[in-house]
Structure 1
Amino acid sequence: MEVEERRLSRKEYIAGLDIGTTKTCCILAEVDADTRAVEIVGVGLTPSDGLKKGVVVELDTTSEAIRVATDKAQQMAGNFAIKSVVVGVTGEHISSLNSRGVVAITGPDREIKPADVDRVIEASKVIVLPPEQEIIQAIPRDFIVDGEEGVKDPIGMSATRLEVETHIVTGSSVFLDNIVKCVHRAGLSVDATVLNSVAAGEAVLLDEEKQLGVALVDIGGGTTDIAVFTGGEVYYTSVIPVGGNHVTNDIAIGLRTSREEAERVKKDYGAADGSLVEPGQTFEVTQLGAAEPVELPRDVLVRITEPRMQEILSMARAELAKSDRLEMLPAGVVLTGGACQMPGTVEIAEKTFGLSVRLGVPRNVGALSNTVASPIYSTAVGLIKYAAREQLGLQEREKTVTLKQAIASFFKRLFG
């Protein structure tokens, strides 16, 4: 899979594209290269059913959803033309591992340069992969300079040996190619692909939480994406192939109704905690083949939604246990994603994880903050923030090198 790379000018527009099982969301933002501030200027959201559990099953349907979402974002932004997007990826085909790379620092001054950082990251990507898998991301977690750990930015330091610990995210080449193909069919190019949970972490997690240790659990329509952050960086990621759609399917079967009707009653009357239902509460649902809706006790619905939400959270807890960090998360768990909006989810999550839990929504995104202040926008907003941070970080490294060269040139002229 090939994607195009680009760098930010003083001000540039970045578009994030979250292609989900139930919805496709495109967010357009202006990024200031000096302040790193993100200002959202356009939001596009449309229903989508071209993906199942993060995997494309209908190319045309998915491409059309992308086209509609980007058109809506462009119109809100004053018909600004979106030409390329940063795309979120998820699915059962995603896997990850932590790796390490090492290179020698050569040259008369033994100074670590940006090229050395690139080399050591590339060295960490030399891993054995099945033929059908490819690397999506190699995320640096920590640099080690001559055995000294905990270095975040080694550029400019003197050393003979540079090491890096990276978190490697891999995915199926075929599935990833299909995602890119859908984007291309919508008339767009792909700037980069980013794991959904890593992106969502950029939007909803505080830097202090990442530093202390925190788990992100993003419950979407078809998948639940998990990421553990420690020391400020991602440590563990995982994808569970269950999500809010499974709750909808359970309701459709249990109440003998259509999926559309099941989705409606889930959003309007569902609850993850049965204790929230008051005696006598009822709801109406139109069952298959019926001319008129029937009235049912609300606890009939909650007896369907509560067990499934508890199961999803229990599966997420089991994944966190695999990370060996479940007992080392002082900042607890942050829930996000559309399915987390069901009343009672935070409360039963606290019981399930045995940790403090809060609901995460995007923040600090300018005048349209209220528009995207919902868990359904976490991934799309995070894609923009992640891309901005990565590209602006590259610019900062280039500035540092240029400044050092200028200083060296000055003293050379001064002292001969």
Structure 2
Amino acid sequence: MSQKTENLLTVLDVGSAKTRVLVAELYDGALRYRAHGIADSKGMRKGVIAELKQAARSVNDAAMMAEAMAQATIDRCVVGVGGWHVRGVNSRGGISLGTRMREITREDVRAAVDRARSVSLPNDREILHLLPQEFILDDQPGIHDPVGMIGNRLEVNLHIATASASALQSIVTCANKAGLEVTESVFEAIAAAEATISADERELGVCLIDIGAGSTELVVFFEGSVAHTAVVPIGGDHFTNDLAVGLHVSVEEAEWIKCNYGHAVVTAVPSGNEIELYGMPGHGPRTVRQRFVAEILEPRARELFHLLRDNLRQGGVLEALGAGCVLTGGGARLPGLLDTAESLLRTPARIGTPVALSRMPEELVDPENAVLTGMLLYAHRTSVSRAAEDQGLRAKLRAIFAGSV
């Protein structure tokens, strides 16, 4: 495994059910699939790391699979962050440019963002993303990039996504113990949106709902920018546990029943259908109506979207979903969930399938891997943007020194 890794980009998603590593290579400026590794998640509880050693072992297993497939050493990665501890807040701040009008520079933009980010946050919060919604130049709103424009005062409306510092550090430590240096962290819903949502949808208003095993992350875009981020503490595992309790079966059998016979709408299941259960050890097999499975799952599905609706309403974005909502994550596979979403959110809904990288295996192009693919696209886009800014700064410095000779 002596191959150079400069052109490799690796992402890590430590989920409640699965730990995934995806590796891509830069080829002619574009991303191309190189390898992946998937391991069962250990040491996770409700979307956060509860036992570091077990979680690190899962990361190591997934990373070793990816290394063997890529035939290259993986030493750096971008990690996804999700779970109940992620929160979003909107802020506004600005700077005065002096008494005379002048041209806005990139440094002015950074200064305005720094002023807007100076909100009082608890000591245990870590900033994940600073996401400008719009700039206001001399009371003129709706500006996306003010660089080069002329004015006296520059303000910015900013969305700040934060995470628990201890939960985030646990992910970093977990990756480090598996031999991986973390270069960047990304909120999972923003990553999933990167791989599944179009520019038109972002402009009209859309909500990305990523239904993971332990929790559901969401992000709302409006007029091209992030307007709201949040987490609802219900995920696919809650549906599975409801079935395990209601049917008196093991969690493993409940998961199998959910995937093969589950439905979120009772009336959509034929009344005569029956399924066979093996039940707990010591009990013989028995049959139950398939509708009974739906009768257990439907209330949980409605609870999830009631909570989502309340969250969107409290965030002031429920009426801003002109393009509807997009469901990703393993939980999005449950039949009938789109109907529940459309009924309770009163907006169109679709399943979000991530864009496929060149040479990517077909089994990775599904809603369950939207976060993984999206992290690659996000990391690539931000690195290209930073490189362009650095190049522009170097050109400006060269011009200054050339003019002083």
Shared fold (TM-score, shorter chain, > 0.5): yes
Looking at structure 1, the residues matched to 172 and 366 of structure 2 have their Cα atoms a distance apart, in angstroms, of 27
Partner in structure 1 of residue 355 of structure 2: 363
Partner in structure 2 of residue 325 of structure 1: 317
Q: Please give the per-residue CA displacement for 1:95-146, whole angstroms capped at 9, x wherever unaligned.
A: 2111123234479994433333333222222111122222222112222334
| Structure of greater relative contact order (alpha carbons < 8 Å, 6+ residues apart) | 1
Q: Taking structure 1 as reference, are residues 311 and 109 closer, same or farther at Cα in structure 2, changes over 3 Å only?
A: closer
Q: Does 1:102 align with 2:97?
A: no
2:327 to 311, 335, 341: 335
Looking at structure 1, the residues matched to 275 and 220 of structure 2 have their Cα atoms a distance apart, in angstroms, of 39
Partner in structure 2 of residue 192 of structure 1: 184
SS in 1 for 2:350: strand
| 1:54–1:89 CA contact under 8 A, matched in 2 | no
1:409 deviation in Å?
8.6
1:74 to 55, 67, 86: 67
Q: Does 1:45 align with 2:38?
A: yes
| 1:31–1:388 CA contact under 8 A, matched in 2 | no
Partner in structure 1 of residue 136 of structure 2: 144
Gaps of 5+ in 1: 1-10
2:233 to 234, 238, 241: 241
Q: Taking structure 1 as reference, are residues 364 and 101 closer, same or farther at Cα in structure 2, changes over 3 Å only?
A: farther
Where do 1:292-311 residues align within 5 Å?
292-311=284-303
Q: Please give the per-residue CA displacement for 1:190-245, whole angstroms capped at 9, x wherever unaligned.
A: 11111111111111111110011001111110101111100111110110111110
Q: Taking structure 1 as reference, are residues 154 and 397 closer, same or farther at Cα in structure 2, changes over 3 Å only?
A: farther
Gaps of 5+ in 2: 1-5
Q: Does 1:21 align with 2:16?
A: yes
Looking at structure 1, the residues matched to 99 and 392 of structure 2 have their Cα atoms a distance apart, in angstroms, of 19
Q: Tell me the TM-score normalized by structure 2.
A: 0.91
Looking at structure 2, the residues matched to 330 and 303 of structure 1 have their Cα atoms a distance apart, in angstroms, of 32
Q: Taking structure 1 as reference, are residues 390 and 137 closer, same or farther at Cα in structure 2, changes over 3 Å only?
A: same
1:261 deviation in Å?
1.3
Partner in structure 2 of residue 252 of structure 1: 244
Q: Taking structure 1 as reference, are residues 122 and 46 closer, same or farther at Cα in structure 2, changes over 3 Å only?
A: same
| 1:16–1:28 CA contact under 8 A, matched in 2 | yes
Partner in structure 2 of residue 6 of structure 1: none
1:401 deviation in Å?
4.4
Letter in 2 for 1:17: L
Partner in structure 2 of residue 280 of structure 1: 272
Looking at structure 2, the residues matched to 238 and 399 of structure 1 have their Cα atoms a distance apart, in angstroms, of 35
Q: Taking structure 1 as reference, are residues 258 and 145 closer, same or farther at Cα in structure 2, changes over 3 Å only?
A: same
Partner in structure 2 of residue 128 of structure 1: 120
SS in 1 for 2:335: coil
Identity of aligned residues (%): 35
SS in 1 for 2:271: coil
Looking at structure 2, the residues matched to 88 and 181 of structure 1 have their Cα atoms a distance apart, in angstroms, of 14
1:169 to 149, 153, 161: 161
Looking at structure 1, the residues matched to 55 and 319 of structure 2 have their Cα atoms a distance apart, in angstroms, of 40
Letter in 2 for 1:44: G
1:264 deviation in Å?
1.2
| 2:20–2:37 CA contact under 8 A, matched in 1 | yes
SS in 2 for 1:366: coil
| 1:13–1:29 CA contact under 8 A, matched in 2 | yes
SS in 2 for 1:168: strand
SS in 1 for 2:93: strand
Looking at structure 2, the residues matched to 122 and 304 of structure 1 have their Cα atoms a distance apart, in angstroms, of 49
Partner in structure 1 of residue 337 of structure 2: 345
Q: Taking structure 1 as reference, are residues 276 and 76 closer, same or farther at Cα in structure 2, changes over 3 Å only?
A: farther
Letter in 1 for 2:258: K
Q: Tell me the TM-score normalized by structure 1.
A: 0.89
| 1:31–1:38 CA contact under 8 A, matched in 2 | yes
Partner in structure 1 of residue 7 of structure 2: 12
Partner in structure 1 of residue 170 of structure 2: 178
SS in 1 for 2:171: helix
Count of equivalent residues: 401
Q: Taking structure 1 as reference, are residues 156 and 347 closer, same or farther at Cα in structure 2, changes over 3 Å only?
A: same
Q: CA RMSD in A?
A: 2.6
Q: Please give the per-residue CA displacement for 1:270-292, whole angstroms capped at 9, x wherever unaligned.
A: 11122332233222222112354
